[in-house]
Amino acid sequence: MGASAPAPDCGRCDAVCCRLTVVLQPEDRIPPHLSARTAAGLEVMARDEEGWCVAVDATRMQCSIYHSRPQVCRRFAMAGPYCLEVRADYADRNARGIPLRLY
Ligand code: SF4
- b/e 38-73 (16+ beta carbons within 10 angstroms → b): eeeeebbbbbeeeebbbbbeeeeeebebeeebbebb
Domain ranges, ordered by start, for the chain = 10-96
Question: Does 44 contact ligand 1 (Cβ within 6 A)?
Answer: no
Please state the φ and ψ torsions of residue 12, each to the nearest 5 degrees: -120, 10
Each residue of 41-81: pLDDT tens digit? 999 999 999 889 999 998 888 899 999 999 999 999 999 99
Task: State the distance from the centre of ligand 1 to the C-alpha of 43, rounded, in angstroms.
Answer: 14
Q: Which atom of ligand 1 is nearest to the CA of 30?
A: 1
pLDDT of residue 100: 54
